[in-house]
Amino acid sequence: MKALILAGGEGKRLRPLTNDKPKPLIEVGGKPIIEWQIEWMKRYGVDCFIISAGYMKERLIEYLGTGAKFRTEINFVVENEPLGTAGAIKNAIDILRKEEKFVVANGDIITNLDLGRLISANKTECTISLVPFKSPFGIVDTEGEVVVGFREKPLIKDHWISAGIYVMSKSVFDYLPEKGSVELETFPKLAVERKIENLKFSDVYWKSVDSFKDFDDVNFALSNNLVYT
C-alpha cells in the first residue's frame, strides 16, 4: 500500500517555527510531525510513501532521504509552484496511476484513527475519514431560563469534519484539476455523482497542527503518551 503525504505548504501561522523548515518537520513529542505519520501508517501496511514537497523541499528530502532509516521506501514529487491539494495529488499520477487504491494525508495531522478500517471501507473513487467537530467555545446547557450545566469545548458528535485523511482509487485522477483544491473542486463533483463515501471515527485522537495552540496540545499529548501506546 502506498501513501501520499501532502507536505508542500508554508505553515505561515506557525512562524517563526517554519522560517527554516516546512511544517511537517516541526518537532512535537521529540520528533517531526511527518515521522509520526510514517510510523502510524506503517502499522497498517503502508510500505511506500510519496512526499509532495514544495516549500523548503530540500529540507524534507535531506531529512527523509530514501526512507531507509525509517525502514520504508520514500519517493518525492515536487511542486515548483503551489498547486493546491488537488493539484498536488494529480502531480503524483505517474507514481500512483497503477495503484488500485492509495492513502492521501495532509502533512500536518497527528491521529491514532484506525487507518486499516478506512482502507477496507473504500469501495468508490474516494473514502474520507470524519471526526467530530470540536467546539472552539464552552457550551452552556439550559432548560428554559435555567442553566443546568457547562461543557468546556466539547465534541459535537452530530456535526462532522474531514480529518484530512483519504483512501482514493486510481479513477479519482479523472476528477482532479492540474491546480486547485480537492476539498472545493473535486469532492463536490464526486458528491454529486455519489462517488464519495465517509467513515466516521468518534473516539480517536485527532489534531491538525495549524496554530501555536495546536502545537502545544499535540506536543503535550505525544510527550505524555496520550496518542500512541
Q: Label residue 102 by pLDDT band (50, 70, 90).
A: very high
pLDDT, tens digit, 9 for 90 and up, residues 124-171: 999 999 999 887 788 888 888 888 888 888 777 778 999 999 999 999
CA atoms of 65 and 75, how far apart (whole Å): 8
β pairing state of 27-28 and 73-78: unpaired
pLDDT, tens digit, 9 for 90 and up, residues 17-45: 889 899 999 999 999 999 999 999 999 99
Per-residue model confidence (pLDDT) at position 59:
94
Residue 213 lies in a domain: yes
Supply the residues annotated as catalytic: 153
Per-residue model confidence (pLDDT) at position 36:
96
Residue 145 lies in a domain: no
Q: What are phi and psi of 141, to 5 degrees?
A: -90, 135
Q: Label residue 6 by pLDDT band (50, 70, 90).
A: very high
Kindly state the average pLDDT of the residues 43-48: 96
Residue 139 lies in a domain: no
Residue 143 lies in a domain: no
Residue 9 lies in a domain: yes
CATH no. for residue 58?
3.90.550.10
Q: Rounded mean pLDDT of the chain? A: 93
Per-residue model confidence (pLDDT) at position 138:
87
Quick one: which H or E segment has residue 81? none
**What's the whole-model pTM score?**
0.92
Cis peptide, bond prior to residue 16, ω within 30 of zero = yes
Report how many domains make up the chain. Answer: 1
In Å, what is the CA distance from 17 to each residue of 5, 14, 28, 73? 20, 6, 12, 28
CA atoms of 166 and 6, how far apart (whole Å): 12
Residue 118 lies in a domain: yes
3 closest CA partner among 46, 34, 64: 46
Segments forming the whole domain that contains residue 176: 2-132+160-223
Q: What are phi and psi of 52, to 5 degrees?
A: -85, 105
CB atoms within 10 A of CB 70: 16
| Contact (CB, 8 A) for 186 and 169 | no
Residue 142 lies in a domain: no
Residue 205 lies in a domain: yes
Per-residue model confidence (pLDDT) at position 152:
81
